[in-house]
Structure 1
Amino acid sequence: MTEPETSPRSTFWETRAFAIAMIALAAVPLLLTPIPPLTDLMGHMGRYRVQLDIGSSPYLSHYYKFDWALIGNLGVDLVIELLGPILGLEPAVHLVVMAIPCIMVAGLLLLAREIHGRVPATAIFALPLAYGYPFQFGFVNFAFAMGLMLIAFAFWLRMARTGRLKWRPYIFFVVSFLLWVAHSFAWGTLGLLCFIAEVVRNRKAGKPWFESGWRSVVACLPLAPPALLLLPWRGGSSPKGTFDWFAWYFKWIWLRSVLRERVEVWDKLSALLLYLVALSGLVWKPWRRYEATLGIGAALLILVFICLPRVLLSSAYADMRLVPYMLAILILALRPIVDRRIAIGVAVAATLFFAGRIAISTLAFQKFERNYNTQLQAIAHIPMGARVMALTNTPCRSAWYSSRMEHLSSMATVRRQAFVNDQWVAPGAQLLRIDYPPAGRYYSHDPSQIVRRPDCRARNEPILEIALEYFPRDAYDYVWMIDMPRNRWPVDSDFAPVWVGNRFGILYKIRHHHQLSQAGSATASKDTPNGNGQRVTQ
């Protein structure tokens, strides 16, 4: 690590104005999309509606349970708890999600400057990773916490560089707890990077390896206390599903998909460019081309990626989430280019590349938004508190392009406080629980709403014709077929169309032929939100 350069020869990408411009540019794709088109986000929004309104809603408590608990996955949930009542749920989500890529860009630039004393021209190539696949997938708690982690790590380094070590244990004792609550993965990553930074600092001070090691352990002890929170979290209702170790096929997919968005050729070529930049330091004297703290840190993160399973504690895509960050840190590890003219050329190319990624993302998000609005017209025909069986036409998982409608049906929960069969069942990984027995074991939760071609569906995803025949009709008031082509719409005397899309999507009202009884397979009349009166959809 070196002192920040304040020379008048500082170039355009090293200025504060450039950093602010890059942070602002990162928000552009989301500016005009009131519902950020991130795959899982609408499902999270449904959960936010429950957490905000279950105490006052006459409907939600009939379908869901929500009990606050201390778990390592609450970053955006807590921010929405604060902003939702002030701004409204949808504007609050829009604001927070739009801030996430800005936070990551800020963290990358701060970290690059702190490590090198200036922002290397090559560091700008890391900025598009703010829209990496984990963020595009809608892992907002994770992406939010990892962005904060980068900023926290830069602050850790700065306090060491400026000699403020006296106060660092107290500050990071608090920071470590906050980061763990936001997402435990980010807390673990921060601990790993801080330990490496301390070892490198002690070695540069001339201390032997053994002394450097134990001094580094002592320095990082203020980061350790959140590990105690893992004990109760790993208790009775904790997430326990962990499998798919060393799934090389998927790991190869995650590496290719680091910038996966909509246009396959553009996304893959962009990823290839970033890998070439990141590995360019290996061409000649790599021990001189990579800064030790971030170089070793990136190497260890790559090792963690290799060793992580695909599903960790019931959280899918555990290894995939790490890819943009290990790549970004490897790019940031590249030392500044000595030749000023070459550095200027690289900085211009990297800035244009980032601007190009932002431009294509903006166009892609606008397309997703238009498709959402077409399907969301159905919500105007769904009464408050209704029970909606969603069936969403979804491309094969092998397809690069995704419609990102897997959880669009949760907007019925957001706007109509409806029960929809698309929430996750992951005890300990989130706080919402489904409490609606009439929906049955298979048709009450994700992925019962996801309909793919039979030859490319996951084992636990439904086949459309079987789902339409066997789902518990008395437990639902509506069938919402999202983005479903007309040739797959059912002809059924129990289904009465109430909204029809131009070519894709239809909403049916279910005709019930008998009064529901408490002993039957559906909710008793007296158990509906309107008490002993008719169900809200009648």
Structure 2
Amino acid sequence: MTDPSPSPRTAFWETRSFALAMIALAAIPLLLPAIPPLTDLMGHMGRYRVQLDIGHSPYLPHYYRFDWGLIGNLGCDLLVELLGPILGLELAVKLIVLSIPCIMVAGLLLVAREIHGRVPATALFALPLAFGYPFQFGFVNFAFAMGLMLIAFAFWLRMARTGKLKARPYVFFVVSFLLWVAHSFAWGTLGILCFIAEVVRRRKEGKSWFETGWRAVVACLPLAPPALLLMPWRGGDSPKGTFDWFNWYFKWIWLRSVLRERVQIWDMASAALLYAVALSGLVWKPWRRYEPILGISAAVLIAIFVCLPRVLLSSAYADMRLVPYMLAILILALRPIADRRIAIGIAVAATLFFVGRISITTLAFLKFERNYTTQLKALDHVPMGSRVMALINTPCRSAWYSSRMEHLSSMATVRRQAFVNDQWVAPGAQLLRIDYRPAGRYYSHDPSQIVRRPDCRARNEPILEIALEYFPRDAYDYVWMIDMPSNRWPIDPDLVPIWEGNRFGVLYRIIHHPAPKAMGPNPAR
């Protein structure tokens, strides 16, 4: 680490005003959309509605159960609990989600400054990763916590640099619990980064490897207590699903998809540029081009990415989530460029690249929002507390572009307190439970709402014609076909169309026939 003392020739990208401008720039794509267009977010919003209103709603207790518990995945849930009653659910979610990329940009710049004493020009290339694929997918608790993790790590480094080592254990004893509650993955990542930072610092002081090791362990002990909170997960509601190790096909996809958004050529070219920047230090004397703390941290995170399964403790895409952060750490590890003219050129190029990414993201988000608005007009015809069977036309997983409507149907829960078959259940990983037996085993939860082409659907996803024939009609009041082309709309006397979305999307009211009365005893006998 280098002492960040001010220089009389401070470059423009090293100033506080520039940092604030980059943080503000990260908020722009999310300013206009009423609903942040992140794939899983609407599903989270449905859960938030249950969380906020189940205690006094006349409808939600018939369908759901929500029991508070201490789990390592509550960052945004707790903020919604605080802000939702004041601002309303949708505005509260928008403001929370809008803050996430801003927090990550701030964290990246703070870490770069603490490590190098100033912000290297190359570090600016890491800023677009604030809109990396995990965030675009809607892993909001994870992305929120990882942004806080970067800020916490910068604070850890700063307390060491300023000699506040006596106060640091008390501060980070609290920080570790808060970060674990936000998301346990971020807490674990912070522990790895802090341990490596302590090892490197002790070695620079000339300590032996043995003394370095045990002193680093002691220094990081204040981060360890949240591990005790993992013990209840081994009990009744512990997340048990861990599988799909060393799936090289998916790992290659995750590497390519680090900036996946809407336009494949642009996204993949942008990703290639970031990998080129990150690996540029390997061209000549890499041990001099990479700062040891972040260089070693990046290497460890890459090894963890290789070893992580696709599904860890019931959380899908566990390995994918790490990619933007390991890439960002590797970019931040690059030491400042000595030649000022070259540094200025790189800083300008990186800033323009970030502006370009933000501009395209803003346009893409507005397009998603317009499509949402079209489909959500169906909710004007759905009464409060209704039961809605959603069937959502969804592209194949191999398609780069996604409509991001997989959980749009949850807005019926958000705005109409309706039951919808699109909530996922992950015991130990989230607190919502589905308690509506009439919907049956297969048509009550995610992914029963996702309809792909038969040749590219997942094994547990429905086939449209079979779902329409066999779903329990008495358990539902409406069938909502979202973004479904008109040539796939069913013609059924028991399904009455009451809204049509301009050839894409339709809402049916289900006609329920009374059950035949049981034959009583023959009075003539």
TM-score (norm 1): 0.96
Deviations 1:9-35 (A, max 9, x none): 110000000000000000000000110
2:410 corresponds in structure 1 to: 410
Taking the aligned partners of 1:465 and 1:59, their CA distance within structure 2 comes to 30
The reply to whether residue 16 of structure 1 matches residue 9 of structure 2 is: no
Provide the secondary structure at the position in 1 that maps to 2:43.
helix
Alignment of 1:132-531 (within 5 A): 132-514=132-514
Taking the aligned partners of 1:423 and 1:239, their CA distance within structure 2 comes to 17
Taking the aligned partners of 1:481 and 1:15, their CA distance within structure 2 comes to 51
The one-letter code of the counterpart of 1:308 is L
The reply to whether residue 113 of structure 1 matches residue 113 of structure 2 is: yes
Taking the aligned partners of 1:30 and 1:399, their CA distance within structure 2 comes to 24
Taking the aligned partners of 2:516 and 2:461, their CA distance within structure 1 comes to 28
Taking the aligned partners of 1:211 and 1:40, their CA distance within structure 2 comes to 46
Judging changes above 3 Å, is the alpha-carbon distance between structure 1 residues 516 and 3 closer, same or farther for their aligned structure 2 residues?
Answer: farther
Q: How big is the shift at 1:8?
A: 1.4
Taking the aligned partners of 1:436 and 1:174, their CA distance within structure 2 comes to 39
Judging changes above 3 Å, is the alpha-carbon distance between structure 1 residues 236 and 516 closer, same or farther for their aligned structure 2 residues?
Answer: farther
The one-letter code of the counterpart of 2:244 is D
Taking the aligned partners of 2:7 and 2:300, their CA distance within structure 1 comes to 34
> Identity over the aligned pairs, expressed in percent?
85
Q: How big is the shift at 1:234?
A: 2.6
Taking the aligned partners of 2:182 and 2:340, their CA distance within structure 1 comes to 41
Taking the aligned partners of 1:457 and 1:234, their CA distance within structure 2 comes to 33
Provide the secondary structure at the position in 1 that maps to 2:389.
strand
The one-letter code of the counterpart of 2:213 is G
Provide the secondary structure at the position in 2 that maps to 1:230.
helix
Taking the aligned partners of 1:322 and 1:251, their CA distance within structure 2 comes to 11
Provide the secondary structure at the position in 2 that maps to 1:96.
helix
C-alpha contact (below 8 Å) 1:395/1:402 kept by paired residues: yes
Taking the aligned partners of 2:227 and 2:502, their CA distance within structure 1 comes to 54
Judging changes above 3 Å, is the alpha-carbon distance between structure 1 residues 516 and 236 closer, same or farther for their aligned structure 2 residues?
Answer: farther
Provide the secondary structure at the position in 2 that maps to 1:483.
strand
The one-letter code of the counterpart of 2:86 is I
Q: How big is the shift at 1:515?
A: 5.4
Q: How big is the shift at 1:516?
A: 10
Taking the aligned partners of 1:232 and 1:169, their CA distance within structure 2 comes to 25
Alignment of 1:83-102 (within 5 A): 83-102=83-102
Q: How big is the shift at 1:79?
A: 0.3
Taking the aligned partners of 1:146 and 1:474, their CA distance within structure 2 comes to 44
Structure 2 residue runs without a partner (length 5+): 518-525
The one-letter code of the counterpart of 1:222 is P
Provide the secondary structure at the position in 2 that maps to 1:130.
helix
1:33 corresponds in structure 2 to: 33
Taking the aligned partners of 1:361 and 1:102, their CA distance within structure 2 comes to 15
Q: How big is the shift at 1:178?
A: 0.3
Taking the aligned partners of 1:459 and 1:40, their CA distance within structure 2 comes to 20
Taking the aligned partners of 2:242 and 2:139, their CA distance within structure 1 comes to 18
Provide the secondary structure at the position in 2 that maps to 1:258.
coil
Taking the aligned partners of 1:170 and 1:380, their CA distance within structure 2 comes to 53
Taking the aligned partners of 1:197 and 1:34, their CA distance within structure 2 comes to 41
C-alpha contact (below 8 Å) 1:33/1:369 kept by paired residues: yes
Deviations 1:20-72 (A, max 9, x none): 00000000000001100000000000000000000010000000000000000
Taking the aligned partners of 1:511 and 1:76, their CA distance within structure 2 comes to 39
Q: How big is the shift at 1:233?
A: 2.3
Provide the secondary structure at the position in 2 that maps to 1:112.
helix
Provide the secondary structure at the position in 1 that maps to 2:318.
coil
Provide the secondary structure at the position in 2 that maps to 1:480.
strand
Q: How big is the shift at 1:210?
A: 1.0
Taking the aligned partners of 2:119 and 2:173, their CA distance within structure 1 comes to 29
Taking the aligned partners of 2:137 and 2:8, their CA distance within structure 1 comes to 43
TM-score (norm 2): 0.98
C-alpha contact (below 8 Å) 1:132/1:258 kept by paired residues: yes
Q: How big is the shift at 1:503?
A: 1.1
The one-letter code of the counterpart of 1:225 is P
The one-letter code of the counterpart of 2:252 is W
Taking the aligned partners of 1:77 and 1:488, their CA distance within structure 2 comes to 37
Provide the secondary structure at the position in 1 that maps to 2:197.
helix
Taking the aligned partners of 1:453 and 1:216, their CA distance within structure 2 comes to 53
Taking the aligned partners of 2:5 and 2:80, their CA distance within structure 1 comes to 39
C-alpha contact (below 8 Å) 1:391/1:479 kept by paired residues: yes
The one-letter code of the counterpart of 1:242 is T
Taking the aligned partners of 1:210 and 1:54, their CA distance within structure 2 comes to 55
Taking the aligned partners of 2:329 and 2:505, their CA distance within structure 1 comes to 43
The one-letter code of the counterpart of 2:203 is R
Provide the secondary structure at the position in 2 that maps to 1:444.
coil
1:56 corresponds in structure 2 to: 56
Q: How big is the shift at 1:5?
A: 3.2
Taking the aligned partners of 1:284 and 1:214, their CA distance within structure 2 comes to 34
Taking the aligned partners of 1:233 and 1:99, their CA distance within structure 2 comes to 30
Deviations 1:158-211 (A, max 9, x none): 000000001000000000000000000000000000000000000000001111
Taking the aligned partners of 1:24 and 1:234, their CA distance within structure 2 comes to 42
C-alpha contact (below 8 Å) 1:474/1:516 kept by paired residues: no
Taking the aligned partners of 1:478 and 1:516, their CA distance within structure 2 comes to 22
- How many correspondences in the alignment? 517
Taking the aligned partners of 1:338 and 1:319, their CA distance within structure 2 comes to 36
Provide the secondary structure at the position in 2 that maps to 1:319.
helix
Taking the aligned partners of 1:176 and 1:515, their CA distance within structure 2 comes to 58
Deviations 1:304-360 (A, max 9, x none): 000000000111000000000000000000000000000000000000000000000
Taking the aligned partners of 2:5 and 2:350, their CA distance within structure 1 comes to 21
C-alpha contact (below 8 Å) 1:39/1:407 kept by paired residues: yes
